[in-house]
Amino acid sequence: MSDVKMQQTCPYCPVQFEGTVNGHPAYFRARWSSWSFSIAKVGKSPVLVKEEDALYFRTEEYGGGEFGAAGAMPPEEAMDFIKMCAEEFEKGSRGDLDRPKELEEKYEKRDELSMRHLQELKAKYPPPVVEGEESK
């Protein structure tokens, strides 16, 4: 069984946990419409982990791609994802690092969702027109 020691570091959006898995630094983050979890080599940062320093990385869409759903994830659910990833890591999996093509596809889908959300926000909250300036 994995030795998982994680602490929630942000009680608001984004949902964030930092700690260790089997002594390795680990980081969980959920924001917008996805979550990610990384485990780094000892002495390396799991927050902005470089591929050569990563032991495990996984990202998944959350809430059916609904804008903001992941940022409202309950902490208990976040810990369930963390434990699931830690178990995969303990079994020798590197998560999405073992599946680079699938990881690239996940990033592309995430980027498409982000652009869609941005367009929805722009439509809902158009920039104010300042008197004397042309609207763009």
- Whole-number pLDDT of residue 8: 97
- Whole-number pLDDT of residue 54: 95
- Whole-number pLDDT of residue 74: 95
Is the pLDDT reported for residue 104 higher than 80? yes
- Whole-number pLDDT of residue 131: 84
The C-alpha atoms of residue 16 and residue 32 are separated, in whole angstroms, by 13
pLDDT tens digit sequence for 29-80: 999 899 999 999 999 999 988 888 999 999 999 998 888 899 999 999 999 9
Amino acid, single-letter form, for residue 97: L
Is the pLDDT reported for residue 15 higher than 90? yes
97 close to 107: Cβ distance less than 8 angstroms: no
pTM of the predicted protein model: 0.85
Q: Where are the beta strands (DSSP E) in the chain?
A: 4-10, 15-21, 24-31, 34-40, 54-61
Is the pLDDT reported for residue 134 higher than 70? no
- Whole-number pLDDT of residue 83: 97
Per-residue pLDDT band for 135 (boundaries 50, 70, 90) equals low
Is the pLDDT reported for residue 129 higher than 90? no
Amino acid, single-letter form, for residue 18: E
User: Residue ranges per domain, the chain?
Assistant: 4-124
- Whole-number pLDDT of residue 120: 85
